[in-house]
Every structure is written in structure tokens, then in C-alpha cells.
A and B are shown apart, each in its own frame.
Chain A
């Protein structure tokens, strides 16, 4: 091969590698895989800065692509998880338990979604709980079970979805909550059993 052909191949290779790696990384990042400025509490993740003018480019890209609006930080803060404490994905065919203490707020809501962020169809129209509706136990702030079939207590139907997203939202929470560092916020434990 003469020299100019080698040069053309080199330039084409560089451009292809550049576009593929650049766009690939952007696609990966905009699914929420790159986490700047997050607070982790057990398996739960919050993006407190996403609802402020200081939102980082990655969280802004993530929300824009999802078509979602972040909660304004003075409105509330949300903690979401797609995994249990051992790191396994939340499976709607299992009994998923969520129990423990919660950070203080004026009130909170708990909601589950499918992997696309949609509510999960069920006969009772039960998509979650608010702090006003939940049945309380003396030893824990919450004790919720997500399962395909009816359970006693605070049950939310999963419709047997293979992947489930669980979200707690704390409204009018003390300003300090969003400024805490990882693992200083107490959030409930998450575990799964009886997978069918």
C-alpha cells in the first residue's frame, strides 16, 4: 500500500473509534450509570443536586433523555433503587421486603414502577403508599412487601414484572438531608425471598 492509503485508513479508523466510543459512553452515562454528587444510603441512591441550578451535566442529560423533571430540592428529595441490599435486581416475582427507619420529613410517598418508569397495573389501583396511609409497626417506620400475590400488611402488587424500581420521596425535608454525605442517611433494608 502507498503512504496516502495508509493515512486515509488511519484517519477513518480514528474517526470511527471516536464516534463509537464517544456516543457509546454518552448513551451509557445518560442511563444514570455515571453518578456524580449522589448520596448513597444502603442500596438507595439520591441525586440531591439534580433539582438545583447546580445540577451536573450528567444528571441533566439523564433527566432530559428520560423526559423526567427532577424534584426541586426545596420541594423534596427522592431515593430510588433497582436492587436489593445484596445487589440483585428487584424481581417482581419475588417477595420484596422493605423495612426499617426513614429520614425525617413533613411526609413521604413510596411508589413502585416497571423498568420503563410506568406504574404497574393492578385491580386495586395500588401503586404505593403515602406516610398517611401506611400501617405502622412499633419497631420500624416502614415495613412494606412488594409481591405478585396478596400479602398481609403493607402490600403492593408487582404484577410479576421482571424488573421493579422502588422510589421513596421525602417532601419538605430538612435542607440538611440533601447535603449529607453517603451512608449517613438511614434508609430501610431491602431483601427478597420466595421467588416464584
Chain B
């Protein structure tokens, strides 16, 4: 009996370790995660529309069809990014995710309180390297720190009823995301 019990218990302990390691590694290892799917839409540091989901295909599963979505997949190795998002007549939000899908910041048109949401995205070290002049410390200059050099910005605008989709789309087409020059 003891011949079976020891390997079994050792095996289960090993199983626990395997389980914890694989769960923790999943965001890095998942081959078909959101970042990989969105990367197929176009190059980094540019804006792309995410095609409206249909029953046949959707870039991301369980997308809310009541939104127009655009993304800017970023790579901060080229330096900080500048992001301009014109808000629509209705709800507009900007959400930031790391490459592994961790949502680290989001804000919407109400919170921003302006017709255009303007912000800068940079790594903590790029922020630390900013010269300390007055302009930078001005309150209306919004700086978002990304914990990773790569990630994705999701811009979503609400389509209250299907008839206004084209209009919302036109507005979101003006979203700008580019390295600071």
C-alpha cells in the first residue's frame, strides 16, 4: 500500500506546482490572446478600426456589438506616444491594456470633460527623463504610464441605435496615435 501512496501524494503536490505555474504563465503563453489577435489588424503605433463583430467573425470573442472600436497597438521603444481622441456626442472611452491583457488605466468622456481627450503614453523611465519645465506640469496635460513597453489602447464609442453608426465611425476615424516628434 505504501508503495502506491508516496508516489501519488508526491504527484499531487507536483500537480499543484504545475497548476500554479501554468496559471501564472497563461497570459504570456496563450498563443491566441487578445494582443495577438489585434496585432493582425496592422502595424504598431498607428490607429486601426476593429471590424464590427458579425456572427461569422469577430476579432475578439464576446465583443459588445453596440460600439465602434478602434485600437492603437503601441510599442514605446520608439519613445512616448501622443494620443488624441475626439469624443462623440455619446459615450466614448479610452482603455489601456498591457500586452498580457492587464487593464491598467481607462477613462471616458465624462471623466475627461473635454471635446477631445489628449494624452501622452510613456514608460515610467521615459517619464522620469522628462525635463521639468512648467508646461509639462500643467494640469491639463495628461500623462499615462504604461507598466510595459508594449500594449494596446482601445478606443470605444457607443452606438445608441444602429442608424448613427456611420456618424460615430466618422468621428472615431479622427483618432490619432503617433510617436511624439
Contact = CB atoms under 8 A, between A and B. Distances in A.
A19 B15 contact: yes
B7 A17 contact: yes
A15 interface: yes
Interface in B82-140: 91, 93, 95-97, 100-108, 110-111
Nearest to A120: B55
A73 interface: yes
Contacts of B24: 57, 61
A177 B56 CA distance: 34
Interface stretch (A87-95, A110-118, A145-153): A110-118
Contacts of A167: 62
A106 B109 CA distance: 12
Nearest to B93: A75
Given A18-B18, A26-B23, A118-B58, A69 B34 contact: yes
A75 B34 contact: no
Given A11-B7, A106-B91, A25 B19 contact: yes
A50 B104 CA distance: 10
Contacts of B96: 72
B154 interface: yes
Q: Which bracket fits the contact residues of A?
A: 35 or more
Contact of A72 (B6, B23, B95): B95
A169 B34 contact: no
A69 B160 CA distance: 22
Contacts of A23: 18-19, 22
A32 to B, nearest CB: 12
A57 B24 CA distance: 6
A58 B23 contact: yes
Contact of A60 (B58, B101, B104): B101
A130 B102 contact: no
Interface string B18-32: 110111101100101
Interface string B64-75: 111000000000
Interface of A is mostly: mixed
Given A61-B23, A74-B107, A172-B108, A68 B62 contact: yes
A172 B22 CA distance: 34
Nearest to B53: A119
A5 B62 CA distance: 52
Given A64-B27, A67-B37, A22 B16 contact: yes
A76 B91 CA distance: 11
Contact of A61 (B14, B26, B65): B26
28 contacts: A10-B7, A14-B10, A16-B11, A17-B14, A19-B15, A21-B11, A26-B18, A51-B103, A53-B102, A53-B104, A53-B147, A57-B26, A60-B101, A61-B30, A64-B30, A65-B33, A69-B103, A69-B154, A72-B95, A73-B106, A74-B107, A74-B111, A128-B66, A130-B160, A130-B161, A165-B62, A171-B108, A171-B158
Given A29-B19, A74-B108, 5 more contacts: A22-B18, A68-B60, A69-B60, A72-B105, A118-B58
Counting from the closest, the 5 A-B pairs by CB-CB distance are A22-B18, A17-B11, A18-B14, A72-B106, A117-B61
